[in-house]
């Protein structure tokens, strides 16, 4: 039990997509590097209970925590920056808040009162924020409020922040407001008016920000800072510049230069002691920026045009690349567009092929072709979740000769259902939160690629799927050279398959990308990138 807990609320103004998640993660990183125990929470003002049922085009990747919550992709940034797992409690949506309040109302817990946004919804928001603080595990809880100040959906959250700030008292909580200071090329000037307006909006809700982080493409001159400070009731030192960065991993250092951590600690009345320890972070950045070679990895997926759809995979490849001092260029390959005419042209360009996770029929034949190309040309291959299932189907069709092999997700009547729905899933009718989710143990077979990479007989990885390898076909695959090197010890589900005929051909039913962090790049991605580099040297 730690002796105290302070709260930081991060709000956003002017426009969405300012990078609140990265600024939050960066501030948390700096506090952690000064010895504080920190966690980050995201409050999302939409009505879905969680983003699990959202199409990636709507909301990017769904991130999965150890305890099986389907969450906003910002939690991935929090874990990658802090190297500490998050949980269900770190992501709360309006849907979740209302669900709780309505259930309590049905149970008669409000004693006949009229149930209202204030106090009942705001009380539930405050309770969800304080749960983390009261756990006794953190010195600082940083809560990022999704959306933009002024949105109808955000109002109850801002009101909850106002109440909490008052209740917690001075120096126990602060509000960091992120805004945009646009550069008008025609006038050759940085404009402060949007920031002024956005702070006015916050003030209308009774919230005075303590720190302003100004996103800008240009340097903020002293007089611009002074102007913002004057209009927003702040000291100039509390106006922080946040310039566009070369990589998101630069942001903690940029924020340190601006002394965001020091201003924060001063306002929270916490000692800042010695310099933050960022040795590992800096060594990662140095390797990231000074690669000694370059490779191309084809990411075969159906949402590749959307930047955020495979966020964790992209970042995991960056971490593994930096580890090997190798720049990994990710070539996005739309699985739907892959066909017999273009496959050679497209895939002969890359030195590694990663087939991505996914749901539904669209683009699966292209994924199967990509696996076949990787297998036949001995190009390093990593298949994740649906990617592993595609590798299974490809092998069944083209090596075992089961031409109609398929997953029952796509063909319920296949005579060779090599991928089938898990028994436990067959009775499930509801969509949200009902897949096999979160961390499960996996036993690793010695003398395999998986063992060579993990150096461990028992690992734990996170899952998000309904279908699995059909163990009825296990022997047939084994007779033809597939090794099932990772198996769930409790129910015998296949978690890893590999094909030792090729230097690197690995399919995993779980999602290793969720566990890769700056300080702990994931062994599978490290192994994959190393194999890609070796292929490149041939
Ligand atoms: N659609 C597949 C399943 O449900 C794969 C899921 C995934 O790739 N995350 O099993």
Choose one of 302, 310, 359, 508 to mutate for the ligand 1 pocket test, by most ligand atoms within 8 angstroms of C-beta: 359
How many angstroms separate the alpha carbon of residue 108 from the centre of ligand 1? Answer: 40
Mean per-residue pLDDT pooled into runs of 10, the chain (538 residues): 90 89 97 96 94 84 96 95 95 97 96 96 97 95 94 96 93 97 93 96 96 96 96 96 95 97 96 89 97 97 89 97 98 94 95 96 94 98 98 98 96 96 82 90 98 97 96 97 97 96 98 97 98 95
Nearest to 29 by CA among 284, 315, 277, 267: 277
Q: Provide Rg for the chain, Cα atoms.
A: 25
How many angstroms separate the alpha carbon of residue 465 from the centre of ligand 1? Answer: 4
List of residues 6+ apart from 372 with CB closer than 8 A? 394, 398
Sign of CA dihedral 529, 532, 534, 537: negative
Q: Is 409 a catalytic residue?
A: no
Q: Is the CB of 466 under 6 A from ligand 1?
A: yes
Q: What pLDDT does 424 receive?
A: 81
On the 0-12 / 13-18 / 19+ scale of CB atoms within 10 A, 184 is exposed
The CA distances from residue 526 to 316, 533, 537, in Å, are 9, 11, 17
Q: Atom 3 (ligand 1): residue with closest C-alpha?
A: 465
Question: Out of 5, 214, 326, 385, which one is annotated catalytic?
Answer: 385
How many angstroms separate the alpha carbon of residue 298 from the centre of ligand 1? Answer: 20
Q: Is the CB of 164 under 6 A from ligand 1?
A: no
Q: 279-293 burial string, b = 16+ CB within 10 Å, else e?
A: eebeebbebbeeeee
Q: What pLDDT does 22 receive?
A: 96
How many angstroms separate the alpha carbon of residue 53 from the centre of ligand 1? Answer: 13
Q: Is 513 a catalytic residue?
A: yes
How many angstroms separate the alpha carbon of residue 142 from the centre of ligand 1? Answer: 32
Q: Locate the DSSP E strands across 88-247.
A: 91-93, 140-145, 173-180, 183-184, 189-190, 211-216, 239-243
Q: Is the CB of 357 under 6 A from ligand 1?
A: yes
Q: Atom 5 (ligand 1): residue with closest C-alpha?
A: 386
User: Residue 61 corresponds to which tokens in the numbers above?
Assistant: 């990747």
Q: What is the residue whose two structure tokens read 């306002």?
A: 267
d(C-alpha 490, C-alpha 440), whole Å: 9
Strand 417-421 relative to strand 467-469, pairing: antiparallel
- Cβ(447)–Cβ(403) under 8 Å? no
List of residues 6+ apart from 438 with CB closer than 8 A? 64, 65, 66, 67, 68, 69, 462, 463
């Amino acid at each position: 039990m730690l002796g105290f807990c302070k709260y930081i609320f991060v709000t956003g103004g002017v426009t969405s997509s300012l990078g609140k998640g990265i600024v939050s993660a960066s501030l948390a990183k700096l506090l952690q590097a000064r010895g504080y125990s920190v966690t980050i929470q995201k409050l999302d003002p939409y009505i879905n209970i969680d983003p699990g049922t959202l199409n990636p085009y709507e909301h990017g990747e769904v991130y999965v925590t150890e305890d099986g919550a389907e969450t906003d992709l910002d939690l991935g940034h929090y874990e990658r920056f802090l190297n500490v797992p998050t949980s269900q409690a770190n992501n709360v949506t309006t849907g979740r808040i209302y669900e709780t309040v309505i259930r309590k109302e049905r149970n008669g817990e409000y004693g006949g009162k009229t149930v209202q946004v204030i106090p009942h919804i705001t009380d539930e928001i405050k309770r969800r924020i304080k749960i983390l603080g009261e756990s006794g595990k953190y010195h600082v809880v940083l809560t990022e409020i999704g959306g933009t100040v002024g949105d109808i959906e955000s109002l109850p959250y801002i009101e909850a922040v106002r109440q909490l700030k008052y209740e917690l008292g001075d120096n126990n909580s602060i509000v960091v407001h992120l805004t945009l200071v646009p550069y008008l090329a025609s006038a050759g000037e940085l404009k402060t008016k949007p920031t002024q307006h956005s702070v006015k909006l916050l003030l209308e809700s009774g919230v005075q920000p303590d720190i302003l982080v100004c996103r800008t493409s240009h340097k903020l001159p002293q007089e611009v800072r002074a102007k913002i400070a004057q209009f927003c009731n702040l000291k100039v030192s509390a106006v922080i510049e946040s310039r566009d960065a070369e990589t998101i991993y630069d942001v903690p250092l940029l924020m340190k230069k601006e002394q965001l951590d020091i201003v924060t600690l001063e306002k929270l009345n916490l000692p800042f002691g010695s310099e933050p320890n960022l040795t590992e972070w800096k060594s990662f950045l140095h390797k990231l920026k000074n690669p000694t070679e370059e490779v191309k990895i084809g990411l075969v997926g159906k949402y590749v045009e959307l930047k955020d759809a495979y966020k964790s995979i992209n970042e995991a490849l960056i971490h593994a690349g930096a580890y090997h001092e190798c720049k990994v260029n990710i070539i996005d390959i739309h699985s739907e567009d892959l066909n017999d005419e273009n496959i050679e042209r497209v895939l002969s360009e890359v030195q590694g092929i990663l087939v991505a996770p996914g749901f539904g029929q669209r683009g699966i034949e292209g994924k199967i072709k990509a696996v076949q190309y990787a297998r036949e040309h001995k190009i390093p291959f990593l298949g994740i979740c649906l990617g592993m299932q595609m590798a299974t189907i490809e092998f069944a069709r083209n090596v075992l000769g089961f031409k109609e092999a398929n997953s029952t997700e796509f063909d319920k009547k296949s005579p060779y259902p090599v991928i089938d729905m898990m028994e436990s899933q067959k009775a499930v009718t509801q969509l949200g939160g009902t897949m096999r989710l979160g961390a499960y143990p996996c036993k690793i077979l010695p003398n395999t690629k998986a063992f060579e990479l993990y150096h461990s007989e028992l690992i734990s990885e996170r899952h998000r799927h309904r279908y699995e390898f059909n163990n009825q076909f296990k022997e047939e695959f084994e007779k033809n050279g597939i090794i099932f090197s990772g198996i769930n010890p409790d129910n015998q589900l296949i978690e890893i398959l590999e094909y030792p005929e090729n230097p690197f051909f690995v399919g995993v039913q779980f999602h290793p990308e969720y566990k890769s962090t700056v300080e702990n790049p994931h062994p599978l991605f490290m192994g994959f990138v190393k194999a890609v580099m070796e292929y490149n040297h041939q």
